[in-house]
Structure 1
Amino acid sequence: MRSLILLAFVGLAAQLVDGALGMAYGVTSTTLLLAIGTNPAAASATIHLSEIGTTLVSGLSHWRFGNVDWKVVLRIGVPGAVGAFLGAYVLSNLATDVAKPVMSAILLALGIYILIRFTLFGLRKDRLGLPLRKRFLAPLGLFAGFVDATGGGGWGPVGTPALLASGRIEPRKVIGSIDTSEFLVAIAASLGFLIALGTQGINPAWVAALLLGGIIAAPIAAWLVRKIPGRILGSAVGGLIVLTNVRTLLRSDWVGLGDTPAEGLILAAIALVWAGAVVWSVRAYRLELALEAATVTVDDEAMLDVETVGAARPAG
């Protein structure tokens, strides 16, 4: 019972992050399931089954708050579903001792990308309104869907930064569209796992617990997407994913440093980098706010000067 309550809180926390940032539900949840010894394919299947419900509620919530671009949803979601089905088949046919470090390596790469992307670069806003083309969205969706199924997460970490980096759609609609299109990806990946695995290794109670937590969090996250600084949240989540998956890899047969002083030193160093990244993001976000406020003040003063000169100029 205690583990089910913990999983419900994991689902709630992961969905809060995912709904506010457009990523990390699958990556965060799968990372934790792997940490407690779950089979990689079963972990990914469990997450994707729970995501059918959470992404549906999340998508509806984002739609209600005006955070969804339906053209983007279809153009990236359908190829994403194809990629997810293929990824589920590939992961289901890998041996567990091979699949676990492979999945952790994928999650680690995604975590590093999230950490660097949001800590150092923030969000790009100078190309809003330019159209997103099918030849960009379709390959992106196919690749992101494949990574999502094989890594137990990755739809958001691949899709959200790519759309944000394009600068052609405002951040809240990037997040809402990615979360909504993930419903198609979750269905396709779940079908792939059920066809390949049946229900082997899938615990319905775990699915239900994650689903319950995610459903509670989804509408809250859709509202918070306008409130929480994505840069800070991205650094925090990225660091957590990196730390957890480095630990998994260190304890794998690939590296073999589990329960050694070297493991402790490496994890401590990563924790320090993680803390520094969060502090950096907080300071960068505050600087952005200060610069925006200064720009508004300067613009207002310039307008006031123009109005003053105009009023003082003699008529005729």
Structure 2
Amino acid sequence: MDLNEFLTFAAIGFAAQIVDGALGMGFGLVSNSVLLAIGTPPAASSAAIHIAKVFTGGASALSHAWFRNIDRRVFLHLVLPGMIGGLIGAVVLQRAPPALLRIAISAYLALMGLWLLLRAIRTRVTHKRVHALGAHGTGLVAGTLDAIGGGGWGTVVTSSLIAQGAEARYAVGTTNAAEFFVAIAISAALTASFGVVPWVWLGGLIAGGILAAPFAAWMTRHLQMRLLTGMVGFAVIALSVHSLWRLLR
């Protein structure tokens, strides 16, 4: 075992899960950007990330449940469409180049992030019940994009739920809880198609992510709501602009 490589991936997993667990987005996007930068094939990278997400997502879901950050009704509306979308995305990953789709979605998310920032600086942030059909559509689209891009579930779902009126902490907690089941579906499909990935990568990502999960859930529980909404908006813009830059350069 290469200890330095293990510790490197543990650090990546810790940092990615702090972002993902606290803001509801970023684990796959952060991890995937590093794996692709070192020359990992996109399908293998996505498989490694989603296998790791099964473990980190489970720890994150339990942590958010402990801190009561999960909206059970929205969670149930997200899970099945998200898993179906993940399976669709796994098939697309094998058959079609996703570059144009990634560009379009990244541009859309950047605009949504700007909208969330404007929402956060309003004097009063209002909330309303998330519609079931809205949650179904969000889960289906997010699951598909997550499988194709190795990340994106949190970015799409968290920002969409907040845009639909969900309170930020519940949007984050519910997104993380549902991601656990979506990751199971995607990792099973990709592993069946592409085989196993280096366990040093998985061990590092999993160890770092599990260690970070309770801290991230605590941050979600105690951060001020408008601040958290603004942070989500900023994160969406930053991640989307970064994705666009990588795709268009």
Question: Shared fold (TM-score greater than 0.5)?
Answer: yes
Asked if residue 218 in structure 1 is aligned to residue 216 in structure 2, the reply is: no
**Deviation of the 1:104 alpha carbon:** 6.0
Map of 1:184 onto structure 2: 181
**Deviation of the 1:230 alpha carbon:** 2.3
Q: Distance in 2 between matches of 1:135 and 1:186?
A: 22
Is contact 2:48–2:202 with CA below 8 Å preserved after alignment?
A: yes
**Deviation of the 1:11 alpha carbon:** 0.9
Q: TM-score, normalised by structure 2?
A: 0.86
Aligned length: 242
Shift in alpha-carbon separation, 1:4–1:241, aligned structure 2, 3 A:
farther
Map of 1:20 onto structure 2: 22
Map of 1:137 onto structure 2: 135
Map of 2:228 onto structure 1: 230
Q: Distance in 2 between matches of 1:178 and 1:59?
A: 9
Question: Secondary structure of the residue that 1:46 maps to in structure 2?
Answer: helix
- Residue 62 of structure 1 aligns with an amino acid whose one-letter code is H
Q: TM-score, normalised by structure 1?
A: 0.69
Asked if residue 41 in structure 1 is aligned to residue 11 in structure 2, the reply is: no
Is contact 2:17–2:209 with CA below 8 Å preserved after alignment?
A: yes
Aligned ranges for residues 1-316 of structure 1 at < 5 Å?
Answer: 1-94=3-96, 98=97, 101=99, 105=103, 108-109=106-107, 112-113=110-111, 115-122=113-120, 125-128=125-128, 130=129, 132-167=130-165, 169-199=166-196, 202-228=197-223, 229-231=227-229, 233-234=231-232, 237-238=235-236, 240-242=238-240, 244-250=242-248
**Deviation of the 1:15 alpha carbon:** 0.7
**Deviation of the 1:172 alpha carbon:** 1.1
Is contact 2:89–2:148 with CA below 8 Å preserved after alignment?
A: yes
**Deviation of the 1:247 alpha carbon:** 5.0
Greater relative contact order: 1 or 2 (C-alpha under 8 angstroms, separation 6 or more)? 2
- RMSD of Structure 2 on Structure 1 (CA): 2.4
Question: Secondary structure of the residue that 1:23 maps to in structure 2?
Answer: coil
Structure 1: 4+ residue segments shifted above 4 A: 101-104
The C-alpha deviation readout for 1:274-316, integer Å capped at 9, x for no partner, is xxxxxxxxxxxxxxxxxxxxxxxxxxxxxxxxxxxxxxxxxxx
Segments of 5+ residues of structure 1 without an aligned counterpart are 252-316
Over the matched positions of the two proteins, sequence identity in percent amounts to 37
- Residue 145 of structure 2 aligns with an amino acid whose one-letter code is V
Q: Distance in 1 between matches of 2:100 and 2:37?
A: 14
**Deviation of the 1:237 alpha carbon:** 3.6
Q: Distance in 1 between matches of 2:53 and 2:237?
A: 23
